[in-house]
Chain A
Amino acid sequence: MAGLARKDILGLQEMTVEEIDLILDTAEALKDLATRPIKKVPTLRGKAIVTLFYENSTRTARSFELAAKYLGADVINVSAATSSVQKGETLKDTARNLEAMGIDAVVVRHSMGGAPHLLARALRASVINAGDGLHEHPTQGLLDMLTIRQRKGGFKGLKVAIVGDSYHSRVARSNIYGLSKYGAEIWLAGPSTLLARGFEAYGVRTTTRVEEALEGADVVNVLRLQLERQEKGLFPTVAEYHKFWGVTEARLRLAKPDALLMHPGPMNRGVEISTAVADGAQSVITEQVTNGVAVRMALLYLLLGGGEPA
């Protein structure tokens, strides 16, 4: 299996269908590793990976860490709260110091769009974007795609409803960029103050009526509502949000009976999603988490160890 002909994974916008296929196929092949009694393989033995998180994250950081460890790499975790950032060190200097210690890849999460691009220009090591500001979360996009592909066999012609705060969502953007390349029909639904704009070129349709987006949907991806948006005046109350845009059992019935219910987590139960839906038969939320490890293993493998058998 050939590696990827790129140094960094910054977003799905710039990736080709062939690259995404390769990543998803590789993830499929590596997925079973996480369920074996002995999980570790020596594929990336001797490789050093840093997770550099400028924003809090449990799921993504641990998912990358486990993915690297399952492949035999050494991993260190740096969070801004405990790093020299607190002493005023710049992002570039922090990364260059890590590189001077010999690392092969940096996984970066940052509150600002474009921060991984800055690192990618500065470093010889591979940079993987683990979420940059409001821009992209490519590994989440890929794990969503892997989950959809496993259940639906492909993407073309699927109606995908992305419900909630797409304006501030890097998950929504990576979903849009990735799924639109395969001809999925993407709908964004949410309050008008929280709807991402400007994606008409990707064939995206937007609506403030969640029912319109859910009607006949094959996939319903519910976004996390960041509650501080209410304080900023982007919506009046959590109760009103739930009333108009919360994904409830009644609303989910508008979707196809076999529609997938997804959420990038962590969930606000009773706000953007009801508990009955979150824990219901259509929910694939835990599968998404499992697939996350597989996708991250695939990326590390393809960027750092592509020539050797997994």
Chain B
Amino acid sequence: MSTLLIRNGRLLDPASRVDRVADLLVVGGRIRAIGTDLPAPEGAAVIDATGKVVAPGFIDVHVHLRVPGQEYKEDMRTGTAAAVRGGFVGVVCMPNTRPVVDSAPLVSYLVDLAAREGLCRVWPTGAITKGSKGEELAEIGEMYEAGACAITDDGRPVDRAETMRQAMIYASQFDLPVMDHCEDKSLSGSGCMHEGRVSSALGLKGIPSASEEVHVARNILLALETGARVHIQHLSSRRSVDLVRWGKALGARVTAEATPHHFTLTDQAVADMAYSTNTKMNPPLREEADRQAILEGIADGTIDVIATDHAPHHIDEKDVEYPLAAFGITGLETAVGLALDRLVRPGVISLEQLILLMSTRPAQLIRRTPPALTEGAEADITILDLDRTWTVRAEEMASKSKNSPFIGWTLTGAPHATVVGGRLRMLEMKVIAE
């Protein structure tokens, strides 16, 4: 097994109360020693982390790897390459593939494929309902046994409240979180961006905030009733943040995530980028008051995790009329840069909070041991360069798809290295595949 010495970095792991400048020695996939002036064993790779922050590895709980069935958009290798390039040691992949991951053999297939081809850890989710059709429960227990870390019909909401209620009751016996894409389709209709001043000006059909909020409220009420763990995916609106805050105050086991695009952009981007379909995502970019509420929710802990909703699409699905374009943008390779540039640098949150939002809590959400900077822990490590100023370039992306509204943006703060199970998988934003 490989040996790796990370020298002279600021080790920062708030959950383990670690904050010191030290060397960190990795042997056989685990953290062997932490100390000053550790000697490099023979043959060890050495990373000079002077001036960098060494953090427990980042985890993204909302990623579309598009496997199986849509490998023209992304595949196991390119998706996990994008993850490690973005500083992630692990990703939770969504089941809205072709076919939908709604049975144990498909979960097992993903686990096996990730072991063979993945550059980072991959935790599959299973669908809540068969085919994600919102009708009959999928074989949740079997998928749990096969390794599913949560259930979700992501991409499609569970329309029927009774189906959702039974899913929560059923999933609770396995302590599986139920993740939900909150959207009332009768309200969003054929909308393609947030309904508001900008959609009105651009003449595009809008998706009202209420289409998300009614399902957020419903899920919180059902979580209160059933005692289940409910995770609100990619919340986008001010009232959704308020609802989650209210649910937590009432004792609901509700968690929520926000994406970098929702805390960075507003619907004005659709106008500013002249109908660029890289501004089209679901839920849509909303208004400044919504963005501010998400920032507040991130800062005060209402929002538990930052997740990307990495949604790669082929250019043919994006280079069309706005209403026809696929919803979604890539996110794995810009998330850490945006979080450092837009959250930590302006002081919205501290670096310690960021680590909780992107490492510790995502692991807790999927019932996995959080990465930690302690001796004996598995060596899942993300090293951050807070001072690096870099420009997002499509040609440098490891993802198969380039559908990002942030291409051309210059950010300060970047992932510097990614270590997965003791193996160096990325250094200076270059993927190390072997």
Task: Judge whether B203 and A117 touch: CB under 8 Å.
Answer: no
Q: Could you say which interface size class chain A belongs to?
A: 20 to 34
Task: Judge whether A135 and B321 touch: CB under 8 Å.
Answer: no
Using CB atoms, name the residue of chain A closest to B319: A92
Task: Judge whether A112 and B321 touch: CB under 8 Å.
Answer: yes
- From A193-201, A210-218, A246-254, the one touching the partner chain is A193-201
Task: Judge whether A118 and B204 touch: CB under 8 Å.
Answer: no
Task: Judge whether B320 and A118 touch: CB under 8 Å.
Answer: yes
Within residues 109 to 138 of chain A, which ones have a CB less than 8 A from any CB in chain B? Answer: 110, 112-115, 117-118, 121, 132-136
A83 CB-CB contact with B under 8 Å: no
Interfacial chain A residues near B201, Cβ < 8 Å: 13, 173, 198-199
Using CB atoms, name the residue of chain B closest to A91: B321
Using CB atoms, name the residue of chain A closest to B270: A114
Using CB atoms, name the residue of chain B closest to A196: B200
Using CB atoms, name the residue of chain B closest to A195: B200
Task: Judge whether B320 and A91 touch: CB under 8 Å.
Answer: yes
Task: Judge whether B324 and A135 touch: CB under 8 Å.
Answer: no
Task: Judge whether B200 and A114 touch: CB under 8 Å.
Answer: no
If A118-B275, A134-B205, A173-B203 touch, whether A113 touches B198 (CB-CB below 8 Å) is no
Using CB atoms, name the residue of chain A closest to B200: A198
Q: How far is the CA of A87 from the CA of B140 in the complex (A)?
A: 42
Q: List 5 A-B residue pairs with CB atoms under 8 Å apart, sorted by A's residue number.
A: A90-B319, A112-B323, A118-B321, A118-B322, A197-B200
Q: What 0/1 pattern do residues 122 to 158 of B give for CB contact below 8 A with A?
A: 0000000000000000000000000000000000000
Using CB atoms, name the residue of chain A closest to B316: A90
Q: Could you say which interface size class chain B belongs to?
A: 10 to 19
Q: What 0/1 pattern do residues 123 to 160 of A give for CB contact below 8 A with B?
A: 00000000011111000000000000000000000000
Task: Judge whether A112 and B200 touch: CB under 8 Å.
Answer: no
A263 CB-CB contact with B under 8 Å: no
B14 CB-CB contact with A under 8 Å: no
If A91-B321, A92-B319 touch, whether A114 touches B198 (CB-CB below 8 Å) is no
Q: A90, A114, A198, A199: which contacts B204 (Cβ < 8 A)?
A: A114
Interfacial chain A residues near B203, Cβ < 8 Å: 113-114, 132-136, 170, 173
Using CB atoms, name the residue of chain A closest to B271: A13
Q: How far is the CA of A276 from the CA of B199 in the complex (A)?
A: 36
If A134-B204, A170-B203, A173-B201 touch, whether A113 touches B322 (CB-CB below 8 Å) is yes
Interface centre among A113, A121, A133, A199 (most CB of B within 10 A): A113
Which A positions have Cβ atoms within 8 angstroms of B? 13, 90-92, 110, 112-115, 117-118, 121, 132-136, 167, 170, 173, 196-199, 201
B196 CB-CB contact with A under 8 Å: yes
B202 CB-CB contact with A under 8 Å: yes
B274 CB-CB contact with A under 8 Å: yes
B197 CB-CB contact with A under 8 Å: yes
Task: Judge whether B198 and A198 touch: CB under 8 Å.
Answer: yes
Using CB atoms, name the residue of chain A closest to B204: A113
Interfacial chain B residues near A13, Cβ < 8 Å: 201
Interfacial chain B residues near A133, Cβ < 8 Å: 203-204, 323
Q: How far is the CA of A201 from the CA of B204 in the complex (A)?
A: 18
Task: Judge whether B321 and A197 touch: CB under 8 Å.
Answer: no
Task: Judge whether A112 and B324 touch: CB under 8 Å.
Answer: yes
Which B positions have Cβ atoms within 8 angstroms of A? 196-205, 274-275, 316, 319-324
Q: A113-B203, A118-B319, A133-B323 are in contact. List 17 more A-B contacts (CB 8 A).
A: A90-B320, A91-B321, A112-B323, A114-B274, A114-B322, A118-B275, A118-B322, A121-B274, A133-B203, A133-B204, A134-B203, A135-B203, A136-B203, A196-B200, A197-B196, A197-B197, A198-B196
Using CB atoms, name the residue of chain A closest to B205: A134
Smallest Cβ distance from B192 to chain A, in angstroms? 9
Task: Judge whether B275 and A113 touch: CB under 8 Å.
Answer: yes
Q: How far is the CA of A113 from the CA of B277 in the complex (A)?
A: 12
Task: Judge whether B198 and A135 touch: CB under 8 Å.
Answer: no
Using CB atoms, name the residue of chain A closest to B198: A198
Smallest Cβ distance from A211 to chain B, in angstroms? 24
Q: How far is the CA of A197 from the CA of B287 in the complex (A)?
A: 15
Interfacial chain A residues near B197, Cβ < 8 Å: 197-199, 201
Interfacial chain B residues near A201, Cβ < 8 Å: 197
The list of the 5 closest CB pairs from A to B, nearest first, reads: A135-B203, A198-B197, A114-B275, A134-B203, A113-B203
Interfacial chain B residues near A118, Cβ < 8 Å: 275, 319-322
Q: How far is the CA of A91 from the CA of B325 in the complex (A)?
A: 12
Task: Judge whether A110 and B196 touch: CB under 8 Å.
Answer: no
Interfacial chain A residues near B199, Cβ < 8 Å: 198
Smallest Cβ distance from B403 to chain A, in angstroms? 15
Interfacial chain B residues near A90, Cβ < 8 Å: 316, 319-320
Q: A112, A121, A136, A198: which contacts B322 (Cβ < 8 A)?
A: A112
Smallest Cβ distance from B22 to chain A, in angstroms? 52
Using CB atoms, name the residue of chain A closest to B322: A114
Smallest Cβ distance from B65 to chain A, in angstroms? 27
Interfacial chain B residues near A92, Cβ < 8 Å: 319-320
Interfacial chain B residues near A167, Cβ < 8 Å: 200
Smallest Cβ distance from B315 to chain A, in angstroms? 11
Task: Judge whether A114 and B321 touch: CB under 8 Å.
Answer: yes
Interface centre among B199, B322, B324 (most CB of A within 10 A): B322
Interfacial chain B residues near A196, Cβ < 8 Å: 200
Q: How far is the CA of A198 from the CA of B275 in the complex (A)?
A: 18
Interfacial chain B residues near A115, Cβ < 8 Å: 321-322
Interfacial chain A residues near B202, Cβ < 8 Å: 113-114, 135
Q: B274, B320, B323: which contacts A117 (Cβ < 8 A)?
A: B274
Interfacial chain A residues near B196, Cβ < 8 Å: 197-198
